[in-house]
Amino acid sequence: MAQASREPEAVTGQVPGHLPPEVQTFVQCLLDQKMTRLECRGCPLRTKPMVVLDLLNCAGFGPVDVYFMALNPGREEVVQWRPLVGPAGGEFHALRNAYIPTASAVLTNLFLCHTANQAEVPDVASVASRCRGLTRQIASRFTPRIWIPLGSPAAHAFGITGPITQACGKVVHKKGATILPLVHPSSLFHRRNHFLPLLEQGFQTLQELLAA
């Protein structure tokens, strides 16, 4: 008699110790949910470690200046358990420190589970849909002045279609939210001379919006 195939065991993650206590409790709650959510059980990233969020210049839940959503936690992110700390994160923080160093910010991803790159995800829209219940819980805990999707998949999650290079740095108002899509900082590793001016202009616009 053939044995029924076993469901792959879920992998969760760790709670960063630098976060405020109430946020640590929330992160642990999301990690625990991965073990039981039906959407997570069928996800191709179920066996990958999960990185939830980081806070900059922020004491906890509530109003923040900016909410950044990138694509996925990479290799370095699952070492430090923080989004945007790998090579692309280094480019991101260089721009952030140059233009909005004191802004309070939430950092998270469209996919909370690790992938080396977008090519590892066979169906981006499906995985984003499976993760949406978790990412919406994160978004609901904060009230950002400006939402920043980084890259095409994150921009699409905000209802922004078309090439990200055309949408980059252009303010969009949707349902009372101010959204400023930007190209993902990893683009700088492919065509730096082309994408760096787009990102610099985008961060300049962000700086102006926060100063208004």
State the virtual CA torsion across 142, 159, 50, 35 in degrees, nearest 10. 90
Query: Which regions in the chain score pLDDT beneath 70?
Result: 1-10
pLDDT at 99: 98
pLDDT tens-digit series, residues 163-190: 999 999 999 999 999 999 999 999 999 9
Residue closest to 26 by CA, chosen among 177, 116, 183, 140: 140
For domain 21-211, give the CATH number: 3.40.470.10
The helix (run of H) or strand (run of E) holding residue 178 is: strand 177-179
pLDDT at 1: 44
Residue closest to 107 by CA, chosen among 19, 211, 195: 19
97-128: b or e for each residue (b if 16 or more CB lie within 10 Å)? eebbeebbbbbbbbbbbbbeebeebeebeebb
pLDDT at 9: 65
pTM across the whole model: 0.93
* DSSP label at residue 106: E
Tokens 């922004």, located at residue? 160
Q: Domain extents for the chain?
A: 21-211
